[in-house]
Amino acid sequence: MSQIAKLPLRQVDSVQKLLMNDMARDQLAAVAAKHMSPERLMRVTANAIRTTPLLQECEPLSFLGALMQCASLGLEPNTVMAHAYMIPFKNNRKNVVEVQLIIGYKGLIDLARRSGHITSISANIHYDDDDLWEYEEGTEAKLRHVPGPQEGTPLHAYAIAKFKEGGHAYVVLPWARVMKIRDGSQGYKTAIKYGKKDSPWIAHEEAMAKKTAIRALSKYLPLSVEFRDAVSIDQDGGAKVDYAKFALNPSEGVTIDGKFLEDEGDDAPKDEPKPEEKAKPKEAEEAKGQPKEAMTSHMKVAEQIEADLTDLAPVDKTLDFYKEQLDLMLKEDPALHEKVMAIVDEFRS
């Protein structure tokens, strides 16, 4: 026991040993929110492992990094509070099981309240069998909702926040808009293609709709730094975060590999490309003469293929699904096509 407690993090070879390691405890204590005890977080984590045994097989540093992210946000994972979920997934390229952190809509609500400017924030779904629904924009703006059985057809998702100094803000999304956001989600696309019934949008559509409304509302609210951090690392299952790197270098923050933002309208914030994502001189030279839209489209296809393969999609079926896009990529951007096929070959090996 004492030997495990004193092991350097890189030498800890299992999640069970990680929970007994002093350095892991120190890392959690260093980043934990003021109200979160590393000891309690360890106990919560032990319970999460009992309910999700596959977490025991995760790469220890990836597990610790995700746990550190929970600690820094002040959210307990895999509890009945439904604030956050640590989900194991297989990384075929590294041949290891890693952890993906999903922030629940109740977790976003909890983080939003911490700003000190908001007294309450909530989200709900309007169904066609509800007892009352009054919604109007303009000079006589109003929103009233009295839920009924809520067993009918969903018509709207909405979120509303009340401010400490008085007043309120709300966002109402027609269900067609919610479905458009869902359909644009990389995680949902992958789930549909390969029958992944445990995908958040399939297994928890109502909760995901509420989270979508909260995220839409967040653009108009004075929110905590923790809330912004949570949104940046929770991209509907499309973004893969390098939590192992975060565990070793927490001061550098999390590294997101492949960003897939939900479609939240033309006014959605646009992310500046990271330095490593910007075209290198040679690549820019090779891309000359191509329409900008074609370049962007080909890059998205390349990212989607890599994401699908990382999510355990069969190689041959993936190539068949993207055949038309790959043929066009070969014609218009052969250099990118070559890189994509090199990635495909890695997954074959």
Q: Spell out the domain ranges in the chain.
A: 2-105+243-256, 116-222, 275-348
Measured CA to CA, the distance from residue 95 to residue 123 in angstroms comes to 39
Using a pLDDT cut of 90, give the percent of the chain over it.
19
Q: How confident is the model at residue 257 (pLDDT cuts 50, 70, 90)?
A: low
When comparing pLDDT for 6 and 293, which is higher? 6
Give 307-316 pLDDT, tens digit per residue: 666 655 678 8
Secondary element (H or E) of residue 27: helix 22-31
Residue 72 reports pLDDT greater than 60:
yes
Q: Of 344, 336, 349, whose CA–CA distance to 315 is shortest?
A: 344
Query: pTM of this prediction?
Result: 0.60
Q: Can you tell me the mean pLDDT for 254-278?
A: 38
What percentage of residues in the chain have a pLDDT greater than 70?
81
For 78-132, what is each residue's pLDDT tens digit? 887 888 888 888 777 778 888 888 888 888 888 888 878 888 899 999 999 999 9
Buried residues in 322-338 as b, exposed as e (16+ CB within 10 A): beebbeebeebbeebbe
Residue 333 CA, distance from chain mean position: 30
